[in-house]
Amino acid sequence: MDMLEKLTPTDKRFGMVAVEKGYITKELLLEALKIQVEENVEKGSHRLIGEILVDMNAITMDKLPSRDKRFGMVAIRKGYISKEQLFEALKIQVEENLERGTHRFIGEILVDMKAIDSNQLRSVFISMGLVIGLR
C-alpha cells in the first residue's frame, strides 16, 4: 500500500478526491504536486492543486471545488458553528502550524473545541462529498 492509499478521509484534499472520483489519475496528481512543490521553492508562491491541474488541461474548471465548499463555510451555512468559532479554529490551526509544524484539519479542531459533534462532522463531510470510508 502506498502513501496515497494510507490517507484517511479527513486527510484527503481535492487531489485525492479527484483521483477517487476518477477525474484524474494518481500519476497526474503526483505530477501536479511536483509542480506545486517546485513553485513553492523557486517562486515562494503556493497555487492550489486544482489550479495546477486546470493549467495542465487535466481537469476542467467545473470539477474544481467552489470556495464555499470549505469545511468551515459549510459548517456555518448548516448553522453548526458561528463565524467566531471558525475564526478561533483557524487561529488554533495557524498557531499549531507555526509552533509545532503540524497541520490539523478545521473539522478536527472544531470537534476538540466541542463546537461540533461527530454527527455534525459527518454531515459536513457528506455535504462536501467527502464520506469515503468515514467512520
Q: Where are the domains of the chain?
A: 3-63, 67-128
Q: Maximum distance among all alpha carbons in the chain? A: 42
Q: Residues 63-67: what's their mean pLDDT?
A: 65
Residue of 51, 53, 1 whose CA lies nearest to 23 = 53
| Separation CA 29–CA 15 (nearest Å) | 6
pLDDT digits (tens, 9 = 90+) for 15-34: 888 888 888 999 998 999 89
| Separation CA 12–CA 129 (nearest Å) | 11
Q: Residues 45-58: what's their mean pLDDT?
A: 85
Residue of 1, 4, 13 whose CA lies nearest to 106 = 13
**Three cell numbers, residue 17:** 478526491
Cα torsion angle, 35, 36, 38, 44, sign: positive
83, burial (CB in 10 Å: exposed 0-12, middle 13-18, buried 19+): exposed
| Separation CA 117–CA 101 (nearest Å) | 26
Q: Model pTM?
A: 0.51
The overall average pLDDT reported for the chain is 81
